[in-house]
Amino acid sequence: MKTGIKLIFVGLMILISNNIVLGMIIPSVEEEREYVRKGQKEWEIKRALSGKLISWLSDANDVAGKECDRLVDSLLTLPEPTIEAYFVAAQATYIRGKPQQAISILEDLISKHPNKPAEVEQLPVRVVARFWIGTIARHSGDMTKAKSVYETILKYLRGREGENSLAMICNLYLAEIESKHMKRDDLALARFEAIQQIKTPEGQLGAGYDIYKGWARYQHTLISKGKAQTTQELVAFSEIMSAPLLAGAQLKLCGISPVFGYYSHEQMSLEGNIIARTLFDRFRNKTISPIDWSLVTLIYGFGYEGEVHFTQKKKYYLKAEKYYSELFDDNSFFSPIGGTYLAQCKKAQDKTVEAEGILEKVGAKYPGYESAVTELKESWKKEGESKK
């Protein structure tokens, strides 16, 4: 299992970091040194901005909020703000409730540095910034702009080697817009069919492709055959335990996870990072995007489960269970993953009977996961025997 996770992690990093074939400009050694010389002032502003944003989010301090806006201006009016500075400014501005201004910051970045590497992802600015704009536009209700942005990304990627992975993500969001918001199931179905026709590359990169193709197949069945048939036909992908890695990679690409640095020990945990939780809660809106809802819900569960190891406080298992249960009770591609992780969460607390009962429910609701359920049960049995 650990080997599988490692392989898919590497595959996903390649999947979203294919910098050379996507036309990214890599800075020279001299440029890197210049960044260091000029970076101290920017770092100080970003740290201050993080602190004021936390203060504003914590107690709705209006003075802190206005200081956030001032610091954003200071960041963007530096002689040569880094690429990261633009993303930090855009994210802070969005959190402050100014989506159109955040989009303007990103559009300004694209116009000035389209081919430079986006420091939040090793992809060109013109790609990552537009993924961010698409996210903000969707969650601000501007589906027309979001659709246009994703189509612009697809146009740029077309014909470039290694473009299929990012194109699959674009098409999933476009299909969601077309089906859920435009009521054009025919357009969405065509996109899902196109994703499934993409050839899966050999090796590590193929794992990510398999997940996205399976996701497209699930959504196609949901629209064309209905919920009941979808659960019967859903087949487990080979690396189900690595789903949080894929979710985390996609949320980062789309600007749904924070780009602020860690300036305190508390910020390194999910519970202590109010900026991360604010972003997750803003984008965890099933009415607007079931895709984002399922990914954020999975990451919430995974994050709180990890909090147990970070703090040694078992109370976080309850929060993890809450999100895993919500995901399992939903009808998304990741629902059986939620059930599987919920079972493992129970098992980690030595609630073996409950854990096995949940796995039985996963197998009953999703027959295609029967072998995955059996494999997990057998691993638990071997683990128990080894402890005797």
Q: Which of 175, 179, 102 is nearest to 140 (CA)?
A: 102
Residue range 168-180: average pLDDT?
A: 97
For 82, the token pair is 């880094």
Task: Please tell me the predicted confidence (pLDDT) of residue 121.
Answer: 61
Class at the top of the CATH hierarchy for domain 19-25+37-141: mainly alpha
Residue range 328-355: average pLDDT?
A: 94
In the chain, domain spans = 1-15+162-241, 19-25+37-141, 256-387
Between CA 31 and CA 148 the distance in angstroms is 34
Q: Are 140 and 283 in contact (CB under 8 A)?
A: no
Residue 386 confidence class, pLDDT cut points 50, 70, 90: confident
Q: Are 371 and 236 in contact (CB under 8 A)?
A: yes
Between CA 161 and CA 22 the distance in angstroms is 8
Q: Which of 268, 269, 270 is nearest to 280 (CA)?
A: 270
Residue 171 confidence class, pLDDT cut points 50, 70, 90: very high
Residue range 169-190: average pLDDT?
A: 97
pLDDT tens digit string along 34-84? 556 667 899 999 999 999 999 999 998 899 999 999 999 999 999 999 999
Q: How many CB atoms lie within 10 A of CB 328?
A: 24
Task: Please tell me the predicted confidence (pLDDT) of residue 53.
Answer: 96
Residue 20 confidence class, pLDDT cut points 50, 70, 90: very low
For 358, the token pair is 């949940």
pLDDT tens digit string along 271-317? 889 999 999 999 999 999 999 999 999 999 999 998 888 787 889 99
Q: Do domains 19-25+37-141 and 256-387 have the same CATH topology?
A: yes
Between CA 132 and CA 154 the distance in angstroms is 15
Residue 31 confidence class, pLDDT cut points 50, 70, 90: low
For 30, the token pair is 């001299």
The secondary structure of residue 124, as a DSSP letter, is E
Distances (CA, A) of 374 to 152, 362, 363, 368, 371: 44, 11, 9, 11, 5
User: CATH fold of 256-387, please?
Assistant: 1.25.40
Tell if the pTM clears 0.75, that is, is over it. Answer: yes
Q: Which of 2-6, 109-113, 345-349 has the lowest mean pLDDT?
A: 2-6
Task: Please tell me the predicted confidence (pLDDT) of residue 35.
Answer: 56
